[in-house]
């Protein structure tokens, strides 16, 4: 059984599970799927209520903290029980492209040349980790939610703003991956 779990699941199984999350949340408690709102809930719980943005009943959303906690615990369990000692398989064409940018460590899911404390002290690492993290966080709040909230929940609810946000996320991803990221990686 464990060997079956260690293999990638087919798209139609994983997609169905993700897709069934939306009606399950709506039916079980009229809840909306999304992750980025948790930062707002955490701030509302910790900061004084005199800040208008945090003045709402965050306790109604406490279930979302358990949801994120489950994601973290699930990731730790999967890493411990389901991880493989084999290096990550990367397409040969991508390997040569990554090598041109100085990324040669493929022993882990995230290359050490980009995701380590040592890389954080470089201009490339700082831009990608700190700058990218800020832009993702700011963009998620500015768009009224993250990619999962808009793409999975919003589109399934037929919300036009979510369709626009998802199209913008996709366009931004294509521009970043094909135009901006190669420049940053060459730093």
Under DSSP, is residue 75 helix (H, G, I), strand (E, B) or coil? helix
- Domain shared by 67 and 124, yes or no: no
Q: How many domains does the chain have?
A: 2
Last residue of a domain, one of 83, 104, 132: 83
For Cα atoms 54, 58, 60, give the angle at the middle one, nearest 5 degrees: 155
In a domain, 121, yes or no: yes
- Domain shared by 12 and 73, yes or no: yes
Alpha-carbon distances of 20 from 13, 16, 31, 107, 156, rounded to whole Å: 11, 6, 13, 34, 11
Of the candidates 61, 24, 59, 50, the one whose C-alpha atom is nearest the C-alpha of residue 156 is: 24
79 is in which domain, residue-wise? 1-83
Write out the chain's pLDDT in tens, 187 residues: 667 666 777 889 888 888 888 888 888 888 877 788 888 888 888 887 778 877 888 888 888 888 889 989 988 888 877 777 777 788 889 888 888 888 888 877 788 888 888 888 888 888 888 888 888 888 887 888 888 888 888 888 889 999 998 999 899 999 988 999 888 887 7
The Cβ of residue 33 has, within 10 Å, a number of other Cβ atoms equal to 21
CB 107 within 8 A of CB 87: yes
Contacts of residue 76, defined as CB under 8 A and 6 or more positions apart, other chains included, come to none
Q: Evaluate if pTM is beyond 0.85.
A: no
């Amino acid at each position: 059984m464990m060997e079956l779990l260690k293999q990638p699941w087919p798209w139609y199984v994983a997609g169905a599970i993700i897709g069934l999350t939306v009606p399950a949340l709506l039916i079980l408690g009229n809840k909306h799927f999304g992750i980025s709102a948790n930062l707002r809930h955490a701030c509302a719980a910790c900061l004084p209520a005199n800040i208008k943005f945090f003045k709402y009943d965050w306790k109604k959303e406490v279930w979302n903290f358990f949801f994120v906690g489950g994601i973290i615990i699930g990731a730790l369990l999967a890493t411990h029980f389901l991880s493989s000692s084999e290096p990550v398989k990367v397409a040969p064409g991508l390997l040569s492209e990554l090598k041109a940018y100085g990324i040669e460590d493929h022993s882990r899911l995230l290359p050490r040349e980009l995701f380590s404390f040592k890389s954080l002290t470089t201009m490339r690492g700082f831009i990608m980790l700190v700058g990218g993290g800020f832009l993702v966080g700011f963009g998620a709040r500015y768009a009224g939610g993250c990619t999962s909230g808009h793409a999975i929940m919003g589109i399934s609810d037929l919300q036009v703003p979510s369709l626009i946000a998802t199209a913008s996320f996709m366009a931004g991803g294509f521009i970043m991956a094909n135009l901006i990221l190669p420049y940053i990686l060459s730093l």
